[in-house]
Amino acid sequence: MRVYALTRQRRPRWISEAAVTSFTWVFSSSIVLVAVALAASPAAQDRVRVSIVKNRSEGPAVMERGLADRLRTLGCDVAATSTVQLTPDEDGQYGAWNKAALESRHLNQLVSQAGNSDLVIGLLTNCSDLLGMLAGLQRPAAAPAAPGAVGLAGTKPRRVGLVWIDAHADFNTPETTLSGMLGGMPVAIAAGMCLTRHRLVSGLDPALPTKYIVMAGLRDVDPLEQELLDRSDCEMISVEDIRRLTANVGDQIGRLARLTDVIYVHIDMDVLDPSEVAGHPLTAPEGPTSRELAAALEVMFRHPKAGALGIASLPFGERDKDLASLKAAQRLIDGAVAGVRSRAAR
């Protein structure tokens, strides 16, 4: 756009010099007012870029419905949801554990491609999806690779911190497990304590040092699993810390931020009070409410290194007829978004 000044030589004789001066002042003032309004506009300044990734199962699909619209009302720009898809060859492979590793590998790729987002939200089938979330944060697609590097070789991984929010530690190994469930082992796998091939297929390499891990809300831990925790460098946020929103919540995020490049916050819905997740098969008494946990999440996500939130194991359908669990999950997402928005508004 060209703007011409009404100089004495160019202006028509019927326009006085005083009129030119007045027009110039009004025009300049209008530009300033528009610029100030744009700068103050939440749409221009405080929008949060959100990417949603999800696994291919009913729980994530239930969480996805209406989520993008909800996020937009909270001041977010939302990318199209990306869903894990196995190839026909992968889908035909044997072994549930092997299939879980392949799904994590695809989840890894989706999270990696969302690397420029302010917040990545993972809608997860269960806690075995942890490995894919961590791996995708470890090597975002935008990360530069060394010249001539093949695969992961020569690529410097980001150090990923983990806040594990669950009634259970999921820190068992095949040697310590009482249930034999893979879902009781993902944190131990991520820490390099067992099932190395499973972790490598998922794309998580190197494993997380246990000092990069914070456990929150634990209250149902197996005896041998507790021994492993006692020998680790994992730190703790208690249920009481969450309920009272003690300084330990922010302190642990600050500690992880000093050690790592990005922080992932993972939630198993069974961490909540059973009244909100009655359809979950592994509830444990005396958990925090979703409102209490949402307040803690807001504190966690105020830190600029808190980059991703995952929600796993949502009760749905007949196990959540009153939608209490879905509403609880929505509150948790709202809390994380509020934290990111408060960061963006500073």
Residue pLDDT, tens place only, 166-218: 999 999 999 999 999 999 999 999 999 999 999 999 999 999 999 999 999 99
Q: Which burial class, exposed, middle or buried, applies to 305 when counting CB atoms under 10 A from its CB (0-12, 13-18, 19+)?
A: middle
Contact of 161 with 138, CB cutoff 8 Å: no
- How much is the pLDDT for 92? 84
Domain residue spans of the chain: 7-40, 46-142+151-344
Query: What pLDDT is attached to residue 121?
Result: 98
pTM to 2 decimal places: 0.85
CA torsion sign, 268 to 162 to 122 to 205?
A: negative
Torsion of CA 253, 62, 325, 122, to 10 degrees: -10
Distance CA 295, CA 325 (A): 17
Q: Is residue 10 within 8 Å of 4, Cβ to Cβ?
A: yes
Low-confidence stretches of the chain (pLDDT < 50) are 1-11, 14-15, 19-44, 148-151
Backbone phi, then psi, for 246, in 5-degree steps?
A: -70, 170
State the DSSP code for 124: E
| CATH architecture observed for domain 46-142+151-344 | 3-Layer(aba) Sandwich (3.40)
The reported pLDDT for the residue numbered 17 is 55
